[in-house]
Structure 1
């Protein structure tokens, strides 16, 4: 029984799903890491100048709000300390109706100086319109911290350096991302391409299953309840073994 005021993360997930899926697929703190992905290299435009933007002043309260997030990213190896001539500022953004903060990095200068890639993120309305009319059963999967699953090549990591001042000790340092950062213009496209290539390796025993991808969201559709269930189990296990993690809170099966 779940204590009053606490949400059971398994409440919306059928027990038969939990019993059939490898536990590591469910997100539990540390983000996953794609196992068969080559670290992403970021190419600067010809004549690009080093980006050296000073950090904006951040109130002590906001720095205290960011500290748990920074510490967890350091613990998980998503951030590393460095000394770099490059720097872009960060912004603390308080979540609505919460005391928690999100870490937002101002990467506009980096975005302007890196070579573009053609965006291949599909139009969601076009995707939904492609669902066969006989599909009546669906599973929607949300990949947790999906961009953090993709490593950045060591030669490209310092591009994403930013400054940080501890709210407790006042120590100032620089940190850089070892994984694809949010706010980088190419992150959704790069991740989407990586995941699409991974999904080509998924072998579904039923050829009548619909699988749609929109960046880090996946939809399975079928005309048959049991076929949708079997495909869901198969895909969850495939993703877990490939190094991805699924959010229990955002997973929903809709009939």
Structure 2
């Protein structure tokens, strides 16, 4: 089969949050792929995201890329390796393969160009998708085992701590951030006195408490509703199962089920 002419490509970069130091790795991958593209004198559009490769539904840039590939906007898609396209379920791999095959778009890595209309490349793609899935499952299992081992030693192993804690690198545990404690206590006190989360969000905006890019009361423990700052204080509905694993001193552990605030718009909350 005659090789396809490549002039315009998409460059797709993905780094998993679980791999650590993702900005540094992304930068290296970006430099490698852009050098490849520029050496071939191809025009390109860059797609970049930090996300797990398990499910396409959680990867907005990948969804956009597949739509554009389906619309035949590119001659090829440039990636560091096949597993950057995904490591997830068989249905996701089937979607990726069908999209590239039907649009006659090639997959380009620094080592090889894959044309899925060629039998050998098609088989190679299938094998690599299987290996990527196996590798992903292995990584997840090892990470889970590592977290369990760390937790048994009294270490914090659950990512970003819930508000108002912070991670202490020296002790590898969580400590209370005293500067955030007044906000936390005010929110808890108002809620326990019957104020719904929508009105708490409005109160925080009106009183102009110091704002944080992410104020997550119990997000990581799935134990409450979330308040975030995104132009204003907001409440998000999440059904509650329990409070924090390690409550702030003098705040008792409790179980409660908050009602939805019923607010239809957050326009009036903007500061």
Q: TM-score, normalised by structure 1?
A: 0.23
User: Which structure has more RCO (C-alpha within 8 Å, separation ≥ 6)?
Assistant: 1
More helix by share: 2
Larger radius of gyration, structure 1 or 2? 2
